[in-house]
Amino acid sequence: MTPQMATVDQQLRILKLPSFVAQRQAVAARAEQEGWSFERYLATLVEAEVADRSQRRITRLLRQSNLPPDKTLATLKLDRLPTPVRRMLPTLCEGGFADKAENLLAFGLPGRGKTHLVAAVGYELILRGFSVLFVAAFALVQRLLAARKTYDLEKALKELDGYDVVIIDDIGYIQQDRDEMEVLFTFLAERYERRSVVITSNLVFSQWDKIFKDPMTTAAAIDRIVHHATILELPGPSIREEEALDRVRPAPEAGVPG
């Protein structure tokens, strides 16, 4: 490598173009062998840099998301989802609701697949460039409450605001005292019409007074959440129970109808 080209590589690193550096010589050799124009040579390097940068961003977003590693679209059993939910899933995965700062709510009793469904949507959103955070409702509340006690609530809310979508799992399992209820409401109010929230709950809205205690706060929270929202209902039997039965159910013998 000539001193001039070494200097070029250094400058490319300063510009944070690592794929240019890594592929420049190989692409140059191919360009010379095949008689490429300078424009094609440059376009090939630019395309490689864009693709590599996109992949690095996806890798970073996945690492920061805290999404459960096994709950992806590939492992989601679509045949066990209600038909309306199954039909809506491709549109949700495209991320239009996140583009418009709308919300997604999944309701159903335990074991109906709510968490897997919204986590799978979360993975697909990341592949499309959205930043996503998956967090259990109780953990989010404790995070915000701890920040408020140290007078850092505004900072904590600003950090969460950096995510296009925050997935709050199992909101129905928390029954907060007033301080906890207030920080959760503050979080939801801060994101209203600005950022998306995805919520799973085993409690229908008429039971949310168990979460927010105060009727007015409950009504205000629901109003903000559902104003721009898609609501998914997952009724039917428990998927976990069915899967457990499938594991222990003996396979039919050969030649004997199952």
> pLDDT per residue over 127-153, tens digit each?
999 999 999 999 999 999 999 999 999
CA dihedral for 103, 169, 75, 251, sign (positive or negative): negative
d(C-alpha 109, C-alpha 238), whole Å: 8
List, for residues 78-108, the tens digit of each pLDDT value: 998 999 999 999 999 999 999 999 999 999 9
| Segment among 2-16, 55-69, 122-136, 197-211 with least mean pLDDT | 2-16
pLDDT at residue 75 is higher than 80? yes
Question: Tokens standing for 148?
Answer: 């408020």
| Segment among 2-6, 21-25, 38-42 with least mean pLDDT | 2-6
For residue 251, CA distances in Å to 77, 80, 248 come to 20, 20, 9
CATH of domain 66-243: 3.40.50.300
Q: pLDDT higher for 5 or 38?
A: 38
Region label for 151, one of left (φ > 0), alpha (ψ between -120 and 50) or beta (otherwise): left
The number of angstroms, rounded, from the C-alpha of 149 to the middle of its chain's C-alpha atoms is 28
**pLDDT at 242 (0 to 100):** 60
Q: Which residues contact 67 (CB under 8 A, 6 or more apart)?
A: 119, 122, 123, 126, 132, 134, 167
d(C-alpha 227, C-alpha 112), whole Å: 25
**pLDDT at 257 (0 to 100):** 47
List, for residues 174-232, the tens digit of each pLDDT value: 666 778 888 999 999 999 999 999 999 998 888 888 788 778 888 998 999 999 999 99
Per-domain residue ranges of the chain: 3-64, 66-243
C-alpha Rg value of the chain to the nearest Å: 24
Mean pLDDT of all residues belonging to the chain = 87
d(C-alpha 129, C-alpha 111), whole Å: 30
The mean per-residue pLDDT over the stretch 17-44 comes to: 86
Question: Tokens standing for 61?
Answer: 């977003």
List, for residues 234-253, the tens digit of each pLDDT value: 986 666 656 555 555 565 55
**pLDDT at 53 (0 to 100):** 85
Report residue 32's pLDDT band, with 50, 70 and 90 as the boundaries: confident
Q: Are 12 and 45 in contact (CB under 8 A)?
A: no
Report residue 154's pLDDT band, with 50, 70 and 90 as the boundaries: very high
d(C-alpha 176, C-alpha 166), whole Å: 20
| Segment among 22-36, 64-78, 137-151 with least mean pLDDT | 22-36
The mean per-residue pLDDT over the stretch 52-71 comes to: 93
Record the pTM: 0.81
3-state secondary structure the chain: CCHHHHHHHHHHHHCCCHHHHHHHHHHHHHHHHHCCCHHHHHHHHHHHHHHHHHHHHHHHHHHHHCCCCCCCCCCCCHHHCCHHHHHHHHHHHHCHHHHCCCEEEEECCCCCCHHHHHHHHHHHHHHCCCCEEEEEHHHHHHHHHHHHHCCCHHHHHHHHHCCCEEEEECHHHCCCCHHHHHHHHHHHHHHCCCCEEEEEECCCHHHCHHHHCCHHHHHHHHHHHHCCEEEEECCCCCHHHHHHHHHHCCCCCCCCCC
**pLDDT at 258 (0 to 100):** 46
